[in-house]
Amino acid sequence: MIEAHKLAKRYGRVEALQDVSFKIRKGTITAMLGENGAGKTTTLKIALGFLRPDAGSVAIAPGRVGYVPDRPAFPAGLDGWTILGLCRNRERAGGEGNGRSFAAAVLGASRSLLFDPGLLRRAPGAYSAGNAKKFAFLQNLVLAPDLLVADEPYAALDPPAVKCVRDIFCGLRDAGKTVLISSHMLAEMERIADGFVVLRRGRTIVHAGLREWRLLRASRTGPDLESVFLLLSGP
């Protein structure tokens, strides 16, 4: 579904990525882990076309791509309904449901995220951080992506919303969609992810599926993902 090959990116004197390569299969949840500044967000932004790599390439299988940024921001002056309508239009081939079914789908998705649909009459710029995050997920649910990329998806969410988002990720995987998550919440990632990509100082240091990861965990005698991660990213 996604294949990154020897990605490199430099911001002035800072070498953000030096050698990032990984391959993610369709119908899986992959967690991208790494310390602050390891290059996770840069890698995601290259995959999504917000940045151009200085070297290397990313290939994504054809299909709808969704994205939930770490700190979502929205076009000024447009209310929630308008933005959701524009998201639906982004990929709609035409004739995919009418306004009433769209509204019903939005209300259903809002319920699944514990998001108050009454907020949709306001501009998302005025939402709280948690509601802005939920709205970013709502945009993606309307889009029905084949690949969902999420950067720190649990940031600003309360525990019930975290559970909702986890259910959304698992639901997408069960429906054969692919999910790529960058997160520092290791326990949560260990709970849902099928594979892990660990970056350190702009390089891929581990790229493992669940089975390989368990082997790695056993060989490193780490009781959980956190201890293995700390061993890997140690000095």
Candidate list 29, 34, 58, 74; residue touching other proteins; CB under 8 A: 74
Closest to other proteins by CB, 16 or 225: 16
Query: Tokens representing 208?
Result: 């493992």
| CA nearest to 9, candidates 37, 51, 48 | 51
Closest to other proteins by CB, 151 or 190: 151
Q: Give the count of residues interacting with other proteins (CB under 8 A).
A: 32
Window 53 to 72, contacts with other proteins (CB under 8 A)? 65-69, 71-72
Query: Tokens representing 40?
Result: 């996770």
Indicate the SS3 state at residue 154.
Answer: coil
Q: Which stretch binds other proteins (CB under 8 A): 46-54, 196-204, 216-224, 225-233?
A: 46-54
Window 84 to 143, contacts with other proteins (CB under 8 A)? 86-87, 89-92, 136, 139-140, 143
Backbone dihedral angles phi then psi of residue 127, each to the nearest 5 degrees: -75, 160
Indicate the SS3 state at residue 6.
Answer: strand
| 76 touching other proteins, by CB under 8 A | yes
What DSSP letter does each residue of 189-222 carry, written as one string? HHHH-SEEEEEETTEEEEEEEHHHHHHHHHHTT-
CB 39 → other proteins: shortest distance, Å?
A: 13
Closest to other proteins by CB, 165 or 225: 165
**Alpha carbons 133 and 130: distance in angstroms, whole number:** 5
CB 63 → other proteins: shortest distance, Å?
A: 12
Closest to other proteins by CB, 25 or 92: 92
- Give the other-Cβ count within 10 Å of 230's Cβ: 11
CB 66 → other proteins: shortest distance, Å?
A: 5
7 DSSP β-pair partners = 20
Look at strands 2-11 and 14-24 and give their pairing: antiparallel
Cα distance from N-terminal residue to C-terminal residue, the chain: 33
Candidate list 19, 50, 59, 107; residue touching other proteins; CB under 8 A: 50
**Alpha carbons 4 and 23: distance in angstroms, whole number:** 6
Closest to other proteins by CB, 31 or 84: 84
| 191 touching other proteins, by CB under 8 A | no
**Alpha carbons 206 and 195: distance in angstroms, whole number:** 10
Summarize as ranges the residues that interact with other proteins (CB under 8 A). Answer: 11, 45, 48-52, 65-69, 71-78, 82-83, 86-87, 89-92, 136, 139-140, 143
